[in-house]
């Protein structure tokens, strides 16, 4: 990859984050936001933080199931600290955390870097499937509401035409992938083939049911973390599970848009909650409370992990 492209991949998410922070804070006054932070019920916020730590702990444990079939037995401590170090590093350079995570196992557990990356890719496939499952559950719970919302906002004929165009593009894409000899298309085909192989490898591993359990647990804790934290603000106490799920889904996508979801996370929450006619200021405040809490946990545990890793492994280095 050329240097300008590499720089853009680092700078653009950061600039987008700065713009979204400015926009978000222009929509709610700082004193008002501070007041929401002061009046929040921190028992629910603390519970949400604990659930977040449980999900990341489960992720660290699940990773061991991916590495052990390769002939390595990493210590759980290294896996846990690698996960939190990765989350922290992702705040600086997008996706650099995954590389750092694999590097930590290479340095301290002698797991080859390429194999470590391979296990992380397989994990991402499982996580993508779980996110799709959450989306399907949200659609099932609020299908009528979401359907009526789109009917009101868009002409039904436009939706039908858009759907047909997407189906047609899908068929054209499949034909191109199967028949094209273009180098880029072949690379895409190889990538998709690798994703499928990674997915199937999950069902071939010795402890596949334990892996599946941890995958469901991780995402269950993610959703529960988001949902219980809404109780911290009285204005959101009547929120439905479906509204929380839609908020969670958009917030999850927002994390990929900017470094650690800075700026984008609160606004994604607002977009989702406004669909369900929830008040705007509490929704934006909740987004900032949720993002700030999880970010603080990652900074503390990620920072401590980076400091303690060489100490923990001093006898092995």
Nearest CA to 131 among 242, 235, 219, 208?
219
Band of residue 267 on the pLDDT scale cut at 50, 70, 90: very high
Nearest CA to 248 among 133, 151, 161?
133
Q: Tell me what the mean pLDDT of segment 291-304 comes to.
A: 93
pLDDT over 80 (residue 157):
no
Residue 102 inside a domain? The answer is yes
Helix 113-141, helix 208-229: angle, nearest 10: 50
Residue 79 inside a domain? The answer is yes
Residue 59 inside a domain? The answer is yes
Q: Tell me what the mean pLDDT of segment 109-137 comes to.
A: 83
Lowest-confidence region among 29-43, 92-106, 162-176: 162-176
pLDDT in tens, 76-121: 999 999 999 999 988 887 777 788 888 888 888 888 887 788 788 8
Band of residue 31 on the pLDDT scale cut at 50, 70, 90: very high
Domain count within the chain? 1
Distance (Å, rounded) from C-alpha 13 to C-alpha 106? 28
According to the model, what pLDDT value does residue 7 have?
62
Band of residue 257 on the pLDDT scale cut at 50, 70, 90: confident
Domain that holds residue 171: 30-312
Residue 170 Cα to chain centre, angstroms: 26
Residue 77 inside a domain? The answer is yes
pLDDT over 60 (residue 317):
no
pLDDT over 80 (residue 55):
yes
Proportion of the chain above pLDDT 90, given as a percent: 33
Q: Tell me what the mean pLDDT of segment 33-45 comes to.
A: 94
Q: Nearest 5°: phi and psi at 90?
A: -65, -20
Cβ count within 10 A of residue 292 = 14
Distance (Å, rounded) from C-alpha 167 to C-alpha 173? 10
Residue 4 inside a domain? The answer is no
Q: Tell me what the mean pLDDT of segment 287-292 comes to.
A: 94
Band of residue 297 on the pLDDT scale cut at 50, 70, 90: very high
- 251: alpha, beta or left, given left = phi > 0 and alpha = psi -120 to 50? alpha
Band of residue 308 on the pLDDT scale cut at 50, 70, 90: very high
According to the model, what pLDDT value does residue 199 have?
60
Sign of the CA dihedral with 232 first, then 233, 239, and 245 last: negative
DSSP 254-266: HHHHSGGGTTHHH
Q: Which residue has the higher pLDDT, 254 or 175?
A: 254
Residues, the chain, total? 317
Kindly tell me the burial class for residue 50, based on how many C-beta atoms sit within 10 Å of its own C-beta (0-12, 13-18, 19 or more). middle
**All residues at 6 or more sequence positions from 279 whose CB lies less than 8 Å from its CB, including other chains:** 235
């Amino acid at each position: 990859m050329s240097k300008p492209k590499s720089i853009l991949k680092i700078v653009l998410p950061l600039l987008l984050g700065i713009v979204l922070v400015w926009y978000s804070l222009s929509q709610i006054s700082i004193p008002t936001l501070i007041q929401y932070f002061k009046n929040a019920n921190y028992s629910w916020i603390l519970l949400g933080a604990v659930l977040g730590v449980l999900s990341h702990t489960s992720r660290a444990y699940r990773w061991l199931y991916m590495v052990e079939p390769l002939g390595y037995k990493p210590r759980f401590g290294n896996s846990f600290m690698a996960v939190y170090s990765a989350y922290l590093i992702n705040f600086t350079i997008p996706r650099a955390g995954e590389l750092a995570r694999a590097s930590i196992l290479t340095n301290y557990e002698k797991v080859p870097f390429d194999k470590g990356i391979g296990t992380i890719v397989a994990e991402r496939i499982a996580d993508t499937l779980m996110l799709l499952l959450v989306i399907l559950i949200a659609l099932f719970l609020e299908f009528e509401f979401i359907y009526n919302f789109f009917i009101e906002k868009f002409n039904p004929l436009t939706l039908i035409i858009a759907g047909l165009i997407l189906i047609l593009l899908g068929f054209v894409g499949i034909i191109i992938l199967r028949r094209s000899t273009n180098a880029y298309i072949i690379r895409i085909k190889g990538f998709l083939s690798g994703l499928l192989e990674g997915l199937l490898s999950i069902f071939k591993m010795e402890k596949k049911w334990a892996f599946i359990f941890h995958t469901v647990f991780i995402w269950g804790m993610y959703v529960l973390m988001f949902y219980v934290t809404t109780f911290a603000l009285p204005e959101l106490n009547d929120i439905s599970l479906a509204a929380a799920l839609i908020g969670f889904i958009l917030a999850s996508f927002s994390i990929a848009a900017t470094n650690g979801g800075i700026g984008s996370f609160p606004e994604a929450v607002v977009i989702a909650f406004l669909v369900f006619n929830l008040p705007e200021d509490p929704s934006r405040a909740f987004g900032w409370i949720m993002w700030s809490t999880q970010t603080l946990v990652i900074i503390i545990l990620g920072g401590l992990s980076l400091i303690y890793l060489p100490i923990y492994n001093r006898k092995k280095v």
